[in-house]
């Protein structure tokens, strides 16, 4: 009968060693989490500049992005187990120095095959940072430090999304595009130092290594990363019309099924699905997935609309996102921590998801006249959503999980966190493209050649172009009319995108309502008189 690999007692605090210098451990968490998210965000936002710098075609640039993120998805689920087996210093310290070296070299490479190989290595190393830094919190920090440290872990997502565009603009326009990679040369060694000073020296855990489920780790990592690659390339290669996309999706799906079979057969499964049988744990993972999809309005819809329709550069978009998205988090996250100390996490989660739902509903009202300033309210609400959503979800998942099966649970957390987000971005790109095509077709049916309205518009546009050449005026007028149709089709597609994320937020609220009260523990809130009254009125209190 299979036994979970964590049954040896290797939970999140398996060693029982509190960090000798907790402050250094907290800094390591901060640097690792922020570096991982900033690197991924900068590579995505700065991809057009990187294509130009490396002299890559569109297809080559697309595979460059897929290789880097897909390799992160491959390694991330296994990092918690690796940290339990080999110790955090080995799993986080050594890769951080290797990452700095690879980041230094990549900007000098001009051979495409070498660039892809280094990008895969770069992604594998980067993929260890976030899961490993989360393990630092659970294994090496006093429980009293957990909530503030987890808040640093959770704030990284929204902060990187909102400030990444501005940072790309700073690097490309002032310091040089190379700093998209070279920031890691500076930060990664500092992270290694903080890990060295803030975590205890640990021997290799031979008991955990005995009978290790290496096959399960490879099957899950390879399966999920191949599914991601297929989805990421599907929008560009026309999905199942492409043999490459079909092969990636089918092979990835088969590997995921083989992983599930493997976990039921091996003696010590690495990530058995029975870890998800707790009601609140399963619901927490579903809400994490829905959160990553709902937050696409922050990471994808707002900046992409400003770039596609308003034609703003990343640094111009970044000014809005930093001022009204990133900076408010310095106030909102401490407020979120304060609320979690005194209120049920479900109450704080409802606030965050409601803020996302409201922001997305406001986004459905956009028109082509919207400029950067019209998104201020939406971005502020998204900032509230980021600060009040991820932290309570992680807390709910943690307090409801079986501590003896922490590494198995961590594997599924990383799949939902990283795989869900990246797959969501790929699917959102397809959603916007398909909806734009549909709306363009519908609008085009009302632009009939020879109709009075169309003739009047073409004559008006043609008159404006006559001064630049009468022979080409009508052709330019026709092109301008086609551009106007495409612009309106894009606007309608983004409206559909906001509607989609709104309903995802509503679904997340529905699953939150199904959660039961978490069992009492060291992270349980201590209600004040006011908090008790609010929780009783919302039906979230036993009293």
Is the Cα torsion angle 88, 93, 94, 96 positive or negative in sign?
positive
Q: What is the pLDDT of residue 220?
A: 92
What superfamily in CATH does domain 1-208 come from? MFS general substrate transporter like domains (1.20.1250.20)
Listed in sequence order, the residues at least 6 apart from 533 whose beta carbon sits closer than 8 Å to its beta carbon are none
When the pLDDT of each residue in the chain is averaged and rounded to a whole number, the result is 83
Q: What is the pLDDT of residue 221?
A: 92
Q: Where are the domains of the chain?
A: 1-208, 214-265, 277-543
- Of the chain, the percentage scoring pLDDT greater than 90 comes to 29
For the stretch 279-298, pLDDT in tens is 888 888 889 889 988 988 88
- Between 224 and 277, the more confident residue is 224
Q: What is the pLDDT of residue 51?
A: 86
pLDDT value at 327 more than 90 = no
Q: How many CB atoms lie within 10 A of CB 476?
A: 16
User: Are 1-208 and 277-543 equal in CATH topology?
Assistant: yes
Listed in sequence order, the residues at least 6 apart from 443 whose beta carbon sits closer than 8 Å to its beta carbon are 485, 488, 489
For the stretch 128-172, pLDDT in tens is 887 877 777 777 778 778 888 888 777 776 677 667 767 777 887
pLDDT value at 354 more than 70 = yes
Q: What is the pLDDT of residue 408?
A: 74
Please state which of the ranges 208-217, 227-236, 332-341, 414-423 shows the lowest mean pLDDT: 414-423
Sequence length of the chain is 543
SS3 of 109, please? Answer: coil
Q: What is the pLDDT of residue 514?
A: 93
Mean pLDDT, rounded, for 13-19: 49
Look up the CATH number of domain 277-543: 1.20.1250.20
For the stretch 56-82, pLDDT in tens is 888 888 898 889 888 988 998 888 888
For the stretch 465-506, pLDDT in tens is 676 666 666 677 777 777 788 889 999 999 999 999 999 999
358-361 CB contacts, 8 Å cutoff, 24+ apart? 359/297, 359/385, 360/294, 360/297, 360/498, 360/499, 360/501, 360/502, 360/505, 361/498, 361/502
Mean pLDDT, rounded, for 353-360: 97
SS3 of 120, please? Answer: helix
Mean pLDDT, rounded, for 372-379: 94
pLDDT-derived band at 451 (thresholds 50, 70, 90) equals low
- Of the chain, the percentage scoring pLDDT greater than 70 comes to 87
Listed in sequence order, the residues at least 6 apart from 515 whose beta carbon sits closer than 8 Å to its beta carbon are 279, 280, 283, 284, 346, 396
Cα–Cα distance between 150 and 142 in angstroms, integer? 12
Q: What is the pLDDT of residue 120?
A: 94
Cβ–Cβ < 8 Å for 216, 269: yes
pLDDT-derived band at 10 (thresholds 50, 70, 90) equals very low
For the stretch 175-198, pLDDT in tens is 888 888 998 899 999 989 988 888
pLDDT value at 14 more than 60 = no
Listed in sequence order, the residues at least 6 apart from 366 whose beta carbon sits closer than 8 Å to its beta carbon are 305, 374, 491, 494, 495, 498
DSSP code at position 178: T
For the stretch 330-348, pLDDT in tens is 899 889 988 988 888 999 9
pLDDT value at 6 more than 50 = no
**DSSP output for 294-316:** HTHIIIIIHHHHHHHTS---HHH
Mean pLDDT, rounded, for 367-395: 92
Nearest to 353 by CA among 476, 457, 503: 503
Cα–Cα distance between 373 and 306 in angstroms, integer? 11
Mean pLDDT, rounded, for 233-237: 84
Cβ–Cβ < 8 Å for 158, 386: yes
What is the SS3 string spanning 134-147? HHHHHHHCCHHHHH
Mean pLDDT, rounded, for 111-127: 92
Please state which of the ranges 41-55, 114-128, 249-263 shows the lowest mean pLDDT: 41-55
Question: Diameter of the chain by CA atoms?
Answer: 84
């Amino acid at each position: 009968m299979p036994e979970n690999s964590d049954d040896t007692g290797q939970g999140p605090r398996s060693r029982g060693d509190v960090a000798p210098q907790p402050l250094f451990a907290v800094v390591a968490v901060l640097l690792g989490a922020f570096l991982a998210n900033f690197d991924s965000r900068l590579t995505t936002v700065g991809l057009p500049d990187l294509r130009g710098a490396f002299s890559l075609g569109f297809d080559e640039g697309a595979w460059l992005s897929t290789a880097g993120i897909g390799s992160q998805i491959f390694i991330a689920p296994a990092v918690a187990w690796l940290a339990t087996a080999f110790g955090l210093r080995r799993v986080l310290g050594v890769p951080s120095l290797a990452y700095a070296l690879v980041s230094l070299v990549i900007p000098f490479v001009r051979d495409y095959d070498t660039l892809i190989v280094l990008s895969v290595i770069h992604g594998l190393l980067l993929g260890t940072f976030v899961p490993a830094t989360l393990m630092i919190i659970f294994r090496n920090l006093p429980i009293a430090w957990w909530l503030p440290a987890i808040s640093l872990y959770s704030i990284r997502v929204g902060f990187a999304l909102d400030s990444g565009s501005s940072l790309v603009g700073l690097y490309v326009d002032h310091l040089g595009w190379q700093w998209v990679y070279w920031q890691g040369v500076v930060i990664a060694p500092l992270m290694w130092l903080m890990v060295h000073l803030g975590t205890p020296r640990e021997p290799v855990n031979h008991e955990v290594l005995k009978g290790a489920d290496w096959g399960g780790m490879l099957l899950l990592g390879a399966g999920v990363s191949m599914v991601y690659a297929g989805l990421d390339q599907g929008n560009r290669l026309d999905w199942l019309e492409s043999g490459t996309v079909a092969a990636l999706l089918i092979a990835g799906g088969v590997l995921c099924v083989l992983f599930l079979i493997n976990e039921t057969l091996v003696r010590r499964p690495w990530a058995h699905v029975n870890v998800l049988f707790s009601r609140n744990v399963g619901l927490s993972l579903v809400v994490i997935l829905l959160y990553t999809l709902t937050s696409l309005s922050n990471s994808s819809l707002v900046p992409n609309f400003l770039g596609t329709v308003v034609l703003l550069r990343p640094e111009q978009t970044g000014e809005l996102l930093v001022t009204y998205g990133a900076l408010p988090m310095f106030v909102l996250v401490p407020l979120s921590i304060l609320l979690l100390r005194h209120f049920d996490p479900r109450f704080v989660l409802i606030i965050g998801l409601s803020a996302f739902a409201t922001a997305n509903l406001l986004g459905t009202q956009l028109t082509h006249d919207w400029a950067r300033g019209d998104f201020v309210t939406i971005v502020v609400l998204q900032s509230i959503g980021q600060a009040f959503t991820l932290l309570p979800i992680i807390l709910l998942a943690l307090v409801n999980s079986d501590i003896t099966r922490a590494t198995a649970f961590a594997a599924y957390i990383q799949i939902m966190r990283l795989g869900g987000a990246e797959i969501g971005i790929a699917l959102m790109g397809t959603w916007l493209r398909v909806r734009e095509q549909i709306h363009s077709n519908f609008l085009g049916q009302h632009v009939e050649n020879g109709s009075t309205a169309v003739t009047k518009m073409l004559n008006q546009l043609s008159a404006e172009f006559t001064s630049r050449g009468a022979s080409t005026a009508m052709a330019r007028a026709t092109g301008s009319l086609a551009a106007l149709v495409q612009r309106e089709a894009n606007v309608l597609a983004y409206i559909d995108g906001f509607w989609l994320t709104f309903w995802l937020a509503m679904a997340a609220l529905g699953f939150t309502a199904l959660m039961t009260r978490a069992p009492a523990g060291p992270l349980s809130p201590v209600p004040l008189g006011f908090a008790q009254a609010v929780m009783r009125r919302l039906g979230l209190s036993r009293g």
